[in-house]
A and B are shown apart, each in its own frame.
Chain A
Amino acid sequence: MRKTWISLVIFCVFCRLNAQNSDIQKLLFAAGFENVQLLEQADTLTIFFEHREFRSPGHSIQYAQLLIKDLPGKILNWVPIYHNVPIGTYAENGVHFKALGKSQRQFYRANNEPANAYRYHLRLQPDLSARFGYYSDPFQIKFNMVLDSRIYLAPGLSLQTGLLIPVENRLDAQDMKPRLAPSMLHYFAQPWNNHFLAASIGTFYYDRYGFDLQYRYAPPAGRWSFGLETGLTGFYRLNSGSFYAETMQDLYLLGDAEYRLGFENLSLKLTAGQFLFEDKGARIDLIKQYGAVDFGLFFAGTQTGETLGFQFAFSLLPGNVYRNQKLQVRTTEEFRWEYSYNNEELVARRYRIGMPRLSDNLRQYNINFIRHL
């Protein structure tokens, strides 16, 4: 009889905890968090989540903490997921970083269901290119609105595709008919802790198509990070439904080293190698992270010439437009624009793949940045 009572009590406690856990899952999912997994250990609760609306996991951790407030007797650990890949543990309310342990990886692998864990996202992403200063037309602007989506196919593997609607084009001869947005198959992985890999194949921005590969060593608790980027691409254009493409023979290969200065969220980055259009040279960046906004100044010197400019990146307002259980309509998590003083010569050019580059993204996961958010 006593045994029955004890097991009944244990069962009740277990049920309560489970109920509490599924409540947390529901609460976070309703607020835009996806792929929410809860791993309960002795005195800690580890919450795996992906939040695609914010750029910085620091903000999503802050948001989640406000939502679930305090769990008595539990220490909360957060594991942000990016493109279906967990990055690491942000322990004790995001103050300390720990690399993923074996048990966490196993738990995630067992519970990760890319096909069911996500809403269908419709993302609004403006695409702006411009050339300033010609006497005939001082503002040559090409502005497109991209409505695209990312569909997770397998762990780390996703397809990004959508529709591109031209709004204005005074820059080149491309027509104004809606066409397929840059579409790519993308694979992201963290094969060993702190080592990140991203591969894309498909059509990209800046009229490129082909293959792109990025590798980055970026410990979120460290100051240094190193990266390699390479791509083999060619020019392509969709015009009146016809597809024109030049051979895929333009190789770019860049190595970079980035150092976080440790105060006021400033980073210095030196990139060298062969840029797009077989332009060999180097570029130095000073990057400031304000929180939701990044701003950077750069100087580049290559065989083609020298240039100086700035770039900024931020999440477009208002973020979430509409959200239900199956669907979310939102504005892009990162709109990036770069201005180069030298607009005649193509100095140190690169192309955008349609999602943040590894270096730009992993900078948001640095514990030093999250701590000072």
Chain B
Amino acid sequence: MRLIPLIPILNNPMMSKFYFLYLLGCALVQPAAGQINFLGKPGVMTTPSASWEEDRQLGFSFSYVPREYSGEVMGKNGNTLHFYNARIGISSFMEAGINIAYRPLFQRTGIGDRHLDFRFRFLQESNYFPSIVLGWTPPGSAAPVMSHDYLVATKNIDVGVGRFTLTVGYGSPYVFPRNINNIGIWDILKVEDKIIFNEANYLSGVFGSFIWSPVDFAGVMIEYNTNTVNAGAYFKLWDWLHLQGYAFEGKKVAFQVAGHFPLDFLPFSLRKHEKNLD
């Protein structure tokens, strides 16, 4: 929101330098977003948060979940999981994400389970208020094993020894699979208890996470995903490349790699010319 009124200034080549300085200033005061969970949504480890990626609208990530805990985050499972995720910020209040869950050790696997969901931001973080985000999965999938509907709030607090990021959320205890035996348009969907349907208690109820970032490029984190308590650390290699490693209940290690890219760049020839002018 803060960036929008300044964008027309970019048309003026002289002002774009000031804009760059302004962006640099923002980077120093704004909390460094970019941590994502195993599904590629802003968050940590296995829980989502209400963080919002402002400047890098496109994200790709890969995550690994060990066999012993795959059933805890994606029901009826028992297989090692590889997640391939993409996320795209469509506006300052709407983001879409897709996931492919691939089971590398499974015989008849195809490309894996596909999943699409959306995030909507209701409130932008300010000095006193947290950011609030609604995560929503369009209902009607035949096997909604990755469906999550949640409301979550996140607040960053600068303390003397770095930054604390606090997240609290509530996950819906229901899933809405497709009713194969429907007779009309009104009973296309079924309502099922998520815990019974997925045979796992994941993200149904109150969840939360806590990050401590003593420096800009690294931090430690702990979370409760309504089922297990997990802890780990993140490391930012470059602004666009982030690594995360964590352990489920301190027992089995999982990790993820994420890349974040801006989409509002100029064509290559124009960028090259601007560079030559500078």
Contact = CB atoms under 8 A, between A and B. Distances in A.
Nearest to B102: A138
Nearest 8 A/B pairs, CB to CB:
A290-B263, A138-B111, A133-B110, A264-B91, A319-B268, A291-B264, A138-B110, A290-B264
B54 interface: no
A292 B273 contact: no
B25 interface: no
Contacts of B266: 59, 62, 291-292
Contacts of B98: 310
A372 B7 contact: yes
A54 interface: yes
A135 B263 contact: no
B267 A54 contact: yes
A93 B11 contact: yes
Interface of A: 31-32, 53-55, 59, 62-63, 66-67, 93-94, 132-135, 138-139, 263-264, 266, 286, 288, 290-293, 295, 297, 308, 310, 315, 317-320, 341, 371-373
Contacts of A59: 266-267, 270
A54 B270 contact: yes
Contact of B11 (A31, A32, A62, A319): A62
B273 A66 contact: yes
Given A32-B269, A317-B268, A308 B110 contact: no
Contacts of B273: 31, 63, 66-67
Interface string B104-120: 00001111001010000
Contacts of A291: 263-266
13 contacts: A32-B269, A53-B267, A62-B11, A63-B270, A138-B110, A264-B92, A266-B91, A291-B265, A292-B266, A310-B98, A315-B267, A319-B267, A341-B114
B269 A63 contact: yes
Contact of B96 (A139, A297, A320): A297
A371 B90 CA distance: 19
B138 interface: yes
A155 to B, nearest CB: 27
A297 B11 contact: no
Interface of B: 4, 7-8, 10-11, 13, 57, 88, 90-92, 96, 98, 108-111, 114, 116, 138, 263-270, 273-274, 277
Given A62-B266, A132-B111, A315-B267, 13 more contacts: A31-B273, A66-B13, A66-B273, A67-B273, A135-B110, A138-B110, A290-B57, A292-B265, A292-B266, A293-B263, A317-B268, A371-B8, A372-B8
A308 B116 contact: yes
Nearest to B265: A292
Pick from B88, B90, B92, B265 the residue with the most CB of A within 10 Å.
B90
Contacts of B110: 132-135, 138
B270 A62 contact: yes
B138 to A, nearest CB: 7
Contacts of A93: 11
Contacts of B274: 66
Nearest to A297: B96
A132 B265 CA distance: 31
A266 B269 contact: no
Contacts of B114: 133, 341
B269 A319 contact: yes
A44 to B, nearest CB: 19
A133 B96 CA distance: 22
A253 B11 CA distance: 40
Nearest to B98: A310
A302 to B, nearest CB: 16
A372 B57 CA distance: 17
A91 B111 CA distance: 51
Contacts of B270: 54, 59, 62-63, 66
Contact of B90 (A66, A139, A266, A317): A266
Contacts of A62: 11, 266, 270
Nearest to A309: B116
Given A286-B90, A288-B90, A293-B263, A318 B111 contact: no
Contacts of B111: 132-133, 138-139
Contacts of B7: 372
Contacts of B265: 291-293
Contacts of A94: 11
Given A266-B90, A308-B138, A66 B263 contact: no
A67 B273 CA distance: 9
A55 B267 CA distance: 9
Contacts of B13: 66
Nearest to A331: B268
Contacts of A67: 273
Contacts of B264: 290-291, 293
B18 to A, nearest CB: 17
Nearest to B138: A308
A110 B268 CA distance: 34
B273 to A, nearest CB: 6
A61 to B, nearest CB: 9
Contacts of A318: 268
Nearest to B107: A135
A239 to B, nearest CB: 29
Contacts of B138: 308
Contacts of A310: 96, 98
A295 B95 CA distance: 12
A206 B111 CA distance: 24
A288 B264 CA distance: 11
Contacts of B91: 263-264, 266, 288
A136 to B, nearest CB: 9
Nearest to B90: A288
Contacts of B263: 290-291, 293, 295
